[in-house]
Amino acid sequence: MYVYDAFDRTLVAERVAEFRDQVARRLSGELTEEEFKPLRLMNGVYLQLHAYMLRVAIPYGTLSSAQLRRLAEVARKYDRGYGHFTTRQNLQFHWIKLEELPDAMAALAEAGLHGMQTSGNCVRNITTDQWAGVAPDELEDPRIWAELIRQHVTLHPEFSFMPRKFKIAVGSSLHDRAALRIHDLALRLHRNGAGESGFEVMVGGGLGRTPFLAKTIKPFLPKRDVLSYVEAVLRTYNQFGRRDNIYKARIKILVHELGVEAFAKEVEAEWQSIKDGALALDPGAASEIAGRFIYPDYKRLDDSPTMLTQARRADAGFDAWMINSVANHKVSGYAIVTLSLKPEGGTPGDATAAQMDAIADLADRYSFGEVRVGHEQNLTLPHVAQRDLHEVWRALNAIGVATPNVGLVSDIIACPGLDYCSLANARSIPIAQEITRRFSKLDLQRDLGRLHINISGCINACGHHHVGHIGILGVEKNGEEFYQITLGGKADSDAKLGTLIGPAVPYAKVADVVEDIAAAYLELRERPDELFIDTVKRLGVEPFRERVYAAR
């Protein structure tokens, strides 16, 4: 956990006071909506179909139990008793009243939470691997660097009015769990040939209307240079990014139109002029940040304690959950536990206040008071002693977050879609719900193996449909909801954009199509352990296209 200092606390408290004044002036008529809108957006306040929405930043997806409890309290007191965890490791309240927002924000601020830079053309919440600091395949904790950059770009005047929003992700593992290549700027910690650790720098990724995967412009950047190089990228984008057309304003378009080499050259020139200035990090800078992270005081425990082995033998449900939802921890005797927010028929990413409170209590009791949010819209208890796993499972099961479907077909990523969002063309959530019902049998889900479905209700792609193994995009045709289906996308270290398989299908047929695709995969795979995504890679989308459209 990172602990805010007095500076951070003051900044957040002052922002609440400022926003309280702005809201009062809006409600009194002193500010028009035109004047007020940019001010509310700077605090993560949107207007959706039914109500205002408040987006709360969860930097690098790390929450303390106290913060989660506070989110629950705000959900209960100022919203409708639940919150929605997003693909950007944030949380959204969908029923907030403007009149009550200052009080809700003040309550959040007391726990170090806020909505700053969760909207607007600035650097948004910096995301990372939800297993940061505990993953065995990690080089070092990427959150140190995410926090360093967060501090640098928070309310940075030069980067508060960029051509468009800017999303940064930091990763540090062999396996990319942070979807690095779909970010405007991604930093991957790794070692060079000399054994030094530094960053691979990737730019120009993003989904939406014109999807691109980020391209590497610096294979190895020494740590001392990370702030100056990030600044150089932001300045280059700020200078050359298009402001004349919102659809062409993201850095991905600039990188594409300029060419990655030319863009890298511009960044390099800017960087050379600032790299040895004030932004060059002294060796103690990262340690100072790291010093404000509180790491658990792990006990010395053995892996696979006898009681765990016995419980797995005695309880098939527990064993299934262990196989699916529990991962190895870098410290022996501990485990990483994923909490599925994808129950059959539920809304992906939603958690009730009661669930949040219960999870906060479990985090205190079993996970050193820490919870993580993943971009897959699930939660993680990052430090659970293996000897406690059976008890933890029983407790999670009791509150409906132990469905052993993590990474399987029913672990669907979906945006709120037309049920909430004013930008959406079509609904996402009921499509996800129907698919989970069609694949309710766990045996079938396990047989299908790892299979990621991503659903977006419009081309803005908040559900990351381009990188779903099966991607589903809602579009509107003559007032009706239709859905385009793509196959073969993925967001890991070997990221790829999916391929459209054919004409869009109507709302009522989407789940049928997914069933057809799954059935085709079961027939087409070479062996039971060939993953869906590997079958698509081997055969292309044609056999799936035939299967889907032959009957229609």
Partner 1 sequence: MTSPLDQKIRITGPVVVTANRVGDGTVVYRRADGGWTTKLASAAVTTSATAARELIKQAAADDLRAVGPYIAPVKLTAAGELLPGNLREAIRLGGPTIDLPVTFGI
Q: Give the total residue count for the chain.
A: 552
> Does the protein bind partner 1 through residue 80 (CB under 8 A)?
yes
User: How far is the C-alpha of 170 from the C-alpha of 126, rounded, in Å?
Assistant: 8
Which one, 13 or 49, has the nearer CB to partner 1?
49
> Does the protein bind partner 1 through residue 115 (CB under 8 A)?
no
Of 163, 346, 468, 498, the one binding partner 1 by CB under 8 A: 346
Eight-state DSSP code of residue 30: S
SS3 state of residue 164: coil
| Ordered DSSP codes for 173-220 | BSS--S-GGGSSEEEEEEE-TTS-EEEEEEE--B-TTS-B--EEEEEE
Which one, 343 or 407, has the nearer CB to partner 1?
343
- Owner of token pair 């290549």: 181
Write the CB contacts of 523 (distance below 8 Å, at least 6 apart in sequence).
none
Phi, psi angle pair for 104, to nearest 5°: -65, -45
Of 13, 98, 107, 500, the one binding partner 1 by CB under 8 A: 98
Which one, 133 or 474, has the nearer CB to partner 1?
474
Which one, 184 or 481, has the nearer CB to partner 1?
481
Q: State in angstroms the smallest separation of the CB of 397 from partner 1.
A: 12
Which one, 8 or 419, has the nearer CB to partner 1?
419
Q: Which stretch binds partner 1 (CB under 8 A): 179-187, 298-306, 424-432, 462-470?
A: 424-432
Of 51, 274, 475, 531, the one binding partner 1 by CB under 8 A: 51
Q: State in angstroms the smallest separation of the CB of 26 from partner 1.
A: 7
Q: Greatest CA span in the chain, whole angstroms?
A: 68
Bridge partner residues of 85 (DSSP): 91
Q: Which of residues 474-533 bind partner 1 (CB under 8 A)?
A: 479, 481
**Integer angstrom CA distances of residue 157 from 162, 267, 395:** 10, 20, 46
Under a CB-based contact definition with an 8 Å cutoff, are residues 50 and 340 in contact? no
Q: Which stretch binds partner 1 (CB under 8 A): 2-10, 109-117, 305-313, 394-402?
A: 394-402
- Owner of token pair 């005695």: 314
> Does the protein bind partner 1 through residue 347 (CB under 8 A)?
yes
Q: Which of residues 14-43 bind partner 1 (CB under 8 A)?
A: 26-27, 29, 32-34, 37
Q: State in angstroms the smallest separation of the CB of 308 from partner 1.
A: 27
Which one, 37 or 446, has the nearer CB to partner 1?
37
Task: Outline where 367-506 has alpha helix (H).
Answer: 389-398, 429-438, 442-448
> Does the protein bind partner 1 through residue 322 (CB under 8 A)?
no
Tell me the site size for partner 1, rule CB under 8 A.
Answer: 40
Q: Which stretch binds partner 1 (CB under 8 A): 331-339, 425-433, 435-443, 487-495?
A: 425-433
Burial, 308: exposed, middle or buried (Cβ in 10 Å; 0-12, 13-18, 19+)?
Answer: buried
Q: Binding string, 116-155, against partner 1, x = CB under 8 A?
A: ----------------------------------------
Of 11, 39, 49, 331, the one binding partner 1 by CB under 8 A: 49
Eight-state DSSP code of residue 111: T
> Does the protein bind partner 1 through residue 47 (CB under 8 A)?
yes
Q: Which of residues 326-345 bind partner 1 (CB under 8 A)?
A: 343, 345
Burial, 44: exposed, middle or buried (Cβ in 10 Å; 0-12, 13-18, 19+)?
Answer: buried
Q: Which stretch binds partner 1 (CB under 8 A): 284-292, 311-319, 397-405, 447-455?
A: 397-405
Phi, psi angle pair for 297, to nearest 5°: -90, 80
Q: Which stretch binds partner 1 (CB under 8 A): 12-20, 44-52, 157-165, 286-294?
A: 44-52
Write the CB contacts of 405 (distance below 8 Å, at least 6 apart in sequence).
324, 340, 342, 411, 442, 445
Q: Which stretch binds partner 1 (CB under 8 A): 240-248, 372-380, 426-434, 463-471?
A: 426-434
Strands 52-56, 379-385: pairing is: unpaired
User: How far is the C-alpha of 1 from the C-alpha of 113, rounded, in Å?
Assistant: 13
Strands 127-128, 168-171: pairing is: parallel
* Six-digit token string for 331: 């410290």
Q: Which of residues 349-388 bind partner 1 (CB under 8 A)?
A: 350-352, 355
Query: Which region holds residue 38: left if phi is over 0, alpha if psi is between -120 and 50, else beta?
Result: alpha
Q: State in angstroms the smallest separation of the CB of 482 from partner 1.
A: 12
Which one, 34 or 529, has the nearer CB to partner 1?
34
Of 371, 429, 435, 520, the one binding partner 1 by CB under 8 A: 429
Q: Distance from CA of residue 271 to its chain's centroid?
A: 29
Summarize as ranges the residues that interact with partner 1 (CB under 8 A): 26-27, 29, 32-34, 37, 47-52, 80-82, 96-99, 343, 345-347, 350-352, 355, 399-401, 418-420, 427, 429-430, 433, 479, 481
